[in-house]
């Protein structure tokens, strides 16, 4: 038997919390009855600075049910920060940690399968969605493009796996030793190593409420993933530079030949086009470098990735360990 914690990041999730609690406690209870996990196993809701009743609900459910606990962050730190906070709190005292979204899009029935793979010796078990029917075609298309691009950049990702996965205590510890401020979990977890496995599941519609990942956040997330893992974009600038120099040499020769032939090159259009084209290219290149400089800027400050305001998980485990 081992102690399992299920970490659930929540941002304004009051509409789904009741149902999520019900389904997760049922799953945990079944596993306890099957004598696979200990009775001290926990669901850990992480309130990521919600502005609705999310925390008061978590607090209420925690006082009613021994299996439920929560961690409250001091403000909104974003999905990745919330996940990290939950894993940090839970991994101290659990043998395995599962992370799952609050909105029941990830199939809770995959949890027992993950547990079985863990018992068989896998330290990281990815939840992989075998369909994306419930996502809009736009989200599906952009996601596919993103995974392709990352693959092309040489970043190893497990395609169609989100932040639904199981990690052993040891894998969590390795994960937490990556101190990057802009942590892109999906990219880091495959770098942890150890024996890994996959569990397939069908991704469902959000149970209630709306997505907390609007387009703007999605773009930032993707850009973060790319610039945290690869400097290929900077190298591409060099290639582009050589290409443009080549064109300019060609134009120079062309102009000289025209001059020798006595044809005066009319200057205005060609000059304007090259000024604007080159100006644009240079600005794009500077902005790519700027992305990386910005990344360095935010990394060197070593700001905390999350701040915990209250930790009911640790409160409960301390009490239980004393008994
Ligand atoms: N989430 C969070 N902090 C945020 C945004 C989202 O903790 O700033 C949580 C959210 O409550 C949910 C999970 O991250 O449990 C995934 O978010 P969502 O379901 O809105 O994303 P989508 O499934 O639409 O990509
Ligand atoms: Mg969702």
- Domain ranges, residue 74: 4-214+305-322
The ipTM estimated for the assembled molecules is 0.92
Mean pLDDT of 202-210: 76
Instruction: Tell me if residue 278 falls in helix, strand or coil.
Output: helix
Using CA positions, which residue lies closest to atom 8 of ligand 1?
Answer: 78
- Checking if the pLDDT of 317 tops 70, the result is yes
Residues 49 and 145 in one domain: yes
CB 195 within 8 A of CB 219: no
Pocket test residue of 57, 58, 101, 224 for ligand 1, highest count of atoms within 8 A of CB: 101
More confident site: 248 or 115: 115
Residues 41 and 156 in one domain: yes
More confident site: 100 or 230: 100
Spell out which residues line ligand 1, taking CB within 6 angstroms.
9-11, 13, 48, 76, 78-79, 82, 101-103, 105, 211-213
Which residues of the chain form beta strands (DSSP E)? Answer: 4-10, 42-47, 68-73, 96-99, 124-129, 161-168, 196-201, 308-311
pLDDT at 6: 95
With cut-offs at 50, 70 and 90, classify the pLDDT of residue 184. confident
Structure tokens at 23: 């389904």
- Checking if the pLDDT of 242 tops 80, the result is no
With cut-offs at 50, 70 and 90, classify the pLDDT of residue 173. very high
Tens of pLDDT, residue by residue over 39-94, are: 889 999 999 999 999 999 999 999 998 899 999 999 999 898 999 999 999 998 89
Residues 123 and 250 in one domain: no
Rounded distance from Cα 208 to ligand 2 centre (Å): 10
Residues 168 and 265 in one domain: no
- Checking if the pLDDT of 25 tops 90, the result is yes
Residues 173 and 265 in one domain: no
Q: How far is CA 69 from the centre of its chain?
A: 23
Pocket test residue of 53, 140, 163, 212 for ligand 1, highest count of atoms within 8 A of CB: 212
Residues 160 and 287 in one domain: no
pLDDT at 241: 77
Q: How many domains does the chain have?
A: 2
pLDDT at 27: 92
**CA separation (Å) from 158 to 185, 189, 239, 241, 315?**
11, 9, 29, 33, 35
Ligand sitting nearest the alpha carbon of 105: 2
């Amino acid at each position: 038997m081992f102690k399992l914690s299920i970490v659930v990041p929540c941002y304004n999730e009051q509409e789904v919390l009741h149902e999520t609690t019900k389904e997760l406690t049922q799953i945990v209870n079944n596993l306890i009855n099957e004598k696979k996990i200990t009775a001290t196993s926990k669901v850990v809701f992480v309130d990521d600075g919600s502005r609705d009743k999310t925390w008061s609900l978590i607090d209420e459910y925690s006082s009613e049910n021994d299996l439920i606990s929560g961690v409250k962050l001091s403000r909104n730190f974003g999905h990745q920060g919330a996940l990290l906070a939950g894993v940090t709190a839970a991994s101290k005292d659990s043998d395995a940690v599962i992370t799952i979204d609050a909105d029941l899009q990830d199939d809770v029935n995959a949890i027992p399968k993950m547990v079985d793979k863990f018992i068989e010796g896998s330290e990281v078990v990815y939840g992989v969605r075998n369909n994306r029917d419930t996502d809009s075609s736009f989200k599906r298309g952009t996601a596919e493009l993103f995974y392709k691009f990352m693959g092309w950049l040489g970043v190893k990702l497990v395609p169609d796996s989100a932040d639904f996965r199981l990690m052993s205590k040891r894998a969590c510890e390795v994960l937490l030793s990556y101190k990057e401020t802009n942590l892109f979990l999906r990219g880091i977890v495959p770098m942890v190593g150890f024996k890994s496995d996959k569990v397939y599941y069908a991704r469902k519609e959000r149970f209630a409420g709306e997505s907390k990942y609007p387009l703007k956040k999605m773009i930032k997330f993707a850009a973060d993933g790319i610039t945290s893992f690869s400097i290929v974009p900077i190298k591409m600038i060099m290639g582009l530079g050589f290409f443009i120099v080549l064109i300019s040499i060609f134009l120079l020769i062309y102009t000289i030949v025209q001059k020798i032939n006595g044809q005066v090159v009319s200057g205005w259009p060609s000059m304007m086009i090259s000024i604007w084209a080159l100006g644009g290219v240079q600005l794009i290149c500077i902005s790519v470098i700027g992305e990386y400089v910005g990344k360095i800027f935010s990394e060197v400050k070593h700001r905390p990735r999350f701040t915990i305001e209250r930790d009911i998980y640790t409160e409960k485990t301390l009490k239980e360990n004393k008994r």
